[in-house]
Amino acid sequence: MSRASVKPLSLVALIMLAVAMLPRVVSATTTQNNESDSTISFFVGSDLIGPVDPQNPLLPVIPVGLVGSSHGGATLPNTGLTIVYASSFNFGSNDVSNKTEIYHAAPQMLSDGTARTNYIQISDTRGTFTGWNLKVVMTEFKTSNDDLVANGHGTLAGATVTLDDAEIQGDATANPADKSVVTTVLNPSVQSATLIGATAGKGTGSNLLVFGGKDGATKNTAVTLSVPAGVAGAAAYIADFTWILDDTPEN
């Protein structure tokens, strides 16, 4: 190999060596993190809708009650846990009978003339998710007829009321109550077991207990009054129902 052919190769090698010895420029991305906050607060709510249709609880309605009866009102004032509405039971006018009779309560009527299941509506807007339960106690059926009171027939002695086909209607809430009893027999002055209840974490918003099924199929027969033979006089008898809403969770 001639010297003339070596020189270009040496020059190339020198150039490559020089480039390799140049300081390297490192490209780096600089990041910076910071934090900020976002906040929202909630207060104990109140039921702003009022009674709703037991077969379509997204629809506000005006129930028609018995003359002189009262409905709803906060059982635990200013807590957000409220009985919004409770049906009154009308067992009609009937002939005096000398045998045991079963009488059916009329369905709940609405202001537009339509019939629905009898029901009770509870609203829980406390925001505590601590649950609740509902019970009921009734008095004896009594008459104000002085003659019947004087001769020992001032009450329907031994009469009982049965609340049947009870079902939770929770379509108005994403978090309905989760405990109920299908059939409850009520004796005078004896508090019932829980009719509808919510375990911890359940039962927020609007919950209804309907007597006659969510579809109302048995609304005409679900609530009954059993009257023993020989106790009813020719008079009107009235019983009071006290619905008891407790802020302790159902187990």
Domain boundaries, the chain: 52-246
Q: How far, in Å, CA of 183 to CA of 138, rounded? A: 16
- pLDDT higher for 50 or 231? 231
Phi, psi of 86 (to 5 degrees): -140, 125
pLDDT at 2: 47
Q: Say whether 238 sits in a helix, a strand or coil.
A: strand
Q: Which two tokens stand for residue 95?
A: 């002939």
Phi, psi of 163 (to 5 degrees): -100, 110
This prediction has a pTM of: 0.82
CB within 8 A of 26, min separation 6: which ones?
none
Please state, for a pLDDT cut of 90, what percent of the chain lies above it: 72
Q: How far, in Å, CA of 45 to CA of 123, rounded? A: 10
